[in-house]
Amino acid sequence: MQHVPSQGVSILGATGSIGASTLDVIARHPDRFRVTALTAQSRVEELARLCVRFRPRFAVIGDAAREGALRDALRAAGLADGVVEVRSGPGALVEAAQCDDAQIVVAAIVGAAGLLPSIAAARAGKRLLLANKESVVCAGALLLDAVRIGGATLLPVDSEHNAIHQCLAGAASTNGAADVRRLILTASGGPFRQRRDFSGISPEEACAHPNWSMGRKISVDSATLMNKGLEVIEASWLFGFGRDRIDVVVHPQSVIHSMVEFGDGSVLAQLGTPDMRTPIAYCLGYPERIESGSPRLDFLRLGALQFEAPDLERFPCLGLAYRALSAGPAASITLNAANEVAVNAFLERRLSFVGIAATIECTLDALQAPAPASVEEVLEIDGWARGVAEKAVRGGAWIS
Ligand SMILES: NC(=O)c1ccc[n+]([C@@H]2O[C@H](COP(=O)([O-])OP(=O)(O)OC[C@H]3O[C@@H](n4cnc5c(N)ncnc54)[C@H](OP(=O)(O)O)[C@@H]3O)[C@@H](O)[C@H]2O)c1
């Protein structure tokens, strides 16, 4: 077997759900990967625990006020000063993404906070394993430019986009994208697929996803179907298709992760158990297939696979995302920012579940900005939209 030199991996958002799955895969391949940097925002104890196990060169805490607590936690965990270099603040997240020691960067920060580190990794020419879909939604053109100019390789971790990447990789053609009729993103439908009355939904109910174990923000996004909306926008940027060639189908078993339909009528699908270690291992090993630890799909126990159309009346967030995609990049930034504010307010019990879509809609209604030409302009629109959405949450009648 050919010897593959060990590659350094920076994991941005290491204490999250994607971070945990990534480290699980990495731990299965100690000769192939070494951990260069681990980052978190606030959970110092968890970050220190990961440092003890994976011995990164850098530990980065995004909230600079917690740097002292991280140093204390590392000492308490038995790591002498200097064994792991401690950094803090948003600038240190960018440094972790650019670090010379890392050939691979896993972008697994949640929300638009991941944008600057994702762009930094792209500019630095890394192999960028992108889970942070919000950075593509906010700045698709700028991120893809950075990938091109930096000579980076972007591989999608999101299971749907990873599935499409796999289906397209197996479809060498002379006509390129023209041979593809449409992309079909599958959606589980979330915990409320069969629920009619959306009043009184609690954060605990919204976060109880039937198939996937994920962070709280993406779990709520799955419950509102905003996650699928963000993924439609993400797919549009990553694969270069307009909204008329990206369909969503609800598939409650989450076995088919997405599909590509070709001009001759063939449909390629990627299947697997709902376990993020599969797409993560695909990206880490690409173009080789490496062991992920995911359980195998047992077709004999699978039973029937179901498919349904998404219900845009009960789940207006998906329609809002289609609207934002049609309206252009400033609307996508606004959609994402308003969603982050609304989901956070819902998790803090300041907003009802139905209030999430209402908040996003009225923020989109207020938008007047032109398409952003720089990252600074993206952040400006993002900040404006957060202000409008927060005001709508405070003044809105969507508490119950
Ligand atoms: N989970 C999945 O199965 C899944 C699947 C597909 C795509 N994704 C995408 O992957 C990303 C991560 O999702 P997740 O479920 O892993 O989220 P998560 O469990 O909530 O973890 C988020 C990570 O980001 C860090 N973080 C939070 N706010 C930050 C900030 N302002 N600045 C820097 N770091 C920050 C957190 O640090 P602390 O722990 O210190 O707060 C944590 O390490 C999201 O964009 C999500 O849409 C997730």
Hunting for tokens 């003890």 — which residue is that?
52
**pLDDT for the residue numbered 374:** 97
Q: Is the CB of 343 under 6 A from ligand 1?
A: no
Q: Is the CB of 198 under 6 A from ligand 1?
A: no
**pLDDT for the residue numbered 245:** 96
Atom of ligand 1 nearest to the CA of 111: 45
Q: Is the CB of 131 under 6 A from ligand 1?
A: yes
**pLDDT for the residue numbered 173:** 53
**pLDDT for the residue numbered 399:** 56
Ligand 1 pocket test target in 218, 382, 386 with most atoms within 8 Å of CB = 218
CA of 21 to the centre of ligand 1 (A): 12
Q: What is the DSSP letter of 159?
A: H
**pLDDT for the residue numbered 26:** 98
CA of 106 to the centre of ligand 1 (A): 11
Q: If you compute the radius of gyration of the chain from its CA atoms, what whole number of angstroms results?
A: 21
What is the distance between the terminal CA atoms of the chain, rounded to a whole angstrom?
61
For the chain, 400 residues long, the average pLDDT of each consecutive 10-residue run is 80 98 98 98 98 97 98 95 95 98 98 98 98 98 98 98 92 64 97 96 94 92 98 98 96 97 96 97 97 96 95 98 97 98 98 97 94 96 98 78
CA of 283 to the centre of ligand 1 (A): 18
CA dihedral (373, 139, 388, 246) in degrees, to 10, reads 120
Atom of ligand 1 nearest to the CA of 219: 15
Q: Is the CB of 254 under 6 A from ligand 1?
A: no
**pLDDT for the residue numbered 230:** 98
CA of 343 to the centre of ligand 1 (A): 14
CA of 33 to the centre of ligand 1 (A): 22
**pLDDT for the residue numbered 55:** 97
Which stretch of DSSP H or E encloses residue 279?
helix 277-285
Letter for the amino acid at 101? D
Q: Is the CB of 17 under 6 A from ligand 1?
A: yes
**pLDDT for the residue numbered 210:** 85
Contacts of 280 (CB under 8 A, 6+ apart): 18, 21, 22, 25, 106, 129, 157, 292
Burial (CB count <10 Å: 0-12, 13-18, 19+), residue 214: buried
Q: Is the CB of 212 under 6 A from ligand 1?
A: yes
Structural domains in the chain, CATH included, are: 7-156 (3.40.50.720), 159-312 (no CATH), 328-394 (1.10.1740.10)
CA of 52 to the centre of ligand 1 (A): 21
Sheet holding 256-262, edge to edge: 246-250, 180-187, 256-262, 267-271
**pLDDT for the residue numbered 369:** 83
151: left (phi over 0), alpha (psi -120 to 50) or beta: left
**pLDDT for the residue numbered 176:** 56
Please give the Cα distance from 102 to 291 (Å, whole number): 21
CA of 254 to the centre of ligand 1 (A): 21
**pLDDT for the residue numbered 211:** 85
